[in-house]
Amino acid sequence: EAGVAQSPRYKIIEKRQSVAFWCNPISGHATLYWYQQILGQGPKLLIQFQNNGVVDDSQLPKDRFSAERLKGVDSTLKIQPAKLEDSAVYLCASSSGGTGLQGYTFGSGTRLTVV
């Protein structure tokens, strides 16, 4: 089966600009996650979707970050305006439900550099 697709792979922007990332999960996976991985740290959950509804966005900086999952399939994560501290790898993951049984599948990530 195809994996989790993310684009772009790399992005360099200036601070205060906006940027968007795209994720296409594995077909049929109801749950989609966005994680932020800052260099030297473990991934941190930003937002979790179940179909097209938000389950957990408690760690999403809502003044600048937004995410949507239209029709319960693809998802986009947007940052506007970007800050230097947003430089990180943004990982998308999907699961068919139940981390224990099915586990997660991660995409290769988008590496964002804010200058």
Judged by the rule CB under 8 A, the positions of this chain that interact with other proteins are 4, 31, 33, 40-45, 48, 55-56, 91, 93, 95, 98-101, 103-104, 106-109, 111
Could you tell me if 87 and 22 are in contact, meaning their C-beta atoms sit under 8 angstroms apart? no
The dihedral of CA 6, 9, 11, 34: what is its sign? Answer: positive
Whether 85 contacts 74, CB under 8 Å: no
Residue 90 CB, shortest distance to other proteins, in Å, is 11
Beta carbon nearer to other proteins, 80 or 113: 113
Residue 92 CB, nearest approach to other proteins (Å): 9
